[in-house]
Amino acid sequence: VEVDSAMAVAEGDAIMEGPPLDEPGFPALGMFGGEVNELFGALHPQRIVQFSCNLRENMMMRGMGMLSNGGTNATLGVQRMMGPNGPMLSAEAISQGVVQLGCEGLSPLPILQLNTQLAFMPYLCGGMANAMLLTPVGPLICSANLNGQLSAEFLAGAPLSETSQLMVGVHSWGKYGTLGGVKAAVEFQHVLMDDEQLKESSSISLSCTAPRFSNGQPSKAAPSWNLSAFKRWEGEHSVGASFDIPADEAPTLTTGGTRKLDDSTRFRGSFNSNGVLALALEMAGTKSTPLVGEKASVTLCCNVDTHPTKPLNPN
Domain regions of the chain by residue span: 5-305
Question: How far apart are alpha carbons 213 and 57 in whole angstroms?
Answer: 49
| Per-residue pLDDT tens digits for 242-275 | 999 998 888 999 999 999 888 788 899 999 988 8
> Is the pTM for the entire model greater than 0.85?
no
pLDDT at 92: 92
| Per-residue pLDDT tens digits for 218-245 | 888 789 999 999 999 877 789 999 999 9
Judged against a pLDDT cut of 50, whether residue 4 lies above it is answered with: no
pLDDT at 286: 58
pLDDT at 7: 40
**Bigger pLDDT: 50 or 14?**
50
Judged against a pLDDT cut of 60, whether residue 9 lies above it is answered with: no
Judged against a pLDDT cut of 50, whether residue 2 lies above it is answered with: no
pLDDT at 296: 66
Give the CA count within 13 Å in the CB-facing half-sphere of 98: 25
Strands (E) across the chain are located at 47-56, 59-68, 71-81, 88-94, 98-109, 112-121, 124-134, 139-145, 149-159, 164-175, 178-194, 197-211, 213-214, 217-218, 224-233, 237-245, 252-262, 265-272, 276-284, 297-305
Backbone angles phi, psi at 111, to 5 degrees: -100, 10
pLDDT at 170: 96
Per DSSP, helices labelled H in the chain are: 5-10, 12-17, 34-41
| Mean pLDDT, the chain, integer | 83
Strand partners, 269: 257, 279
**Bigger pLDDT: 141 or 219?**
141
Q: Per CATH, is 5-305 categorized as 2.40.160.10? A: yes
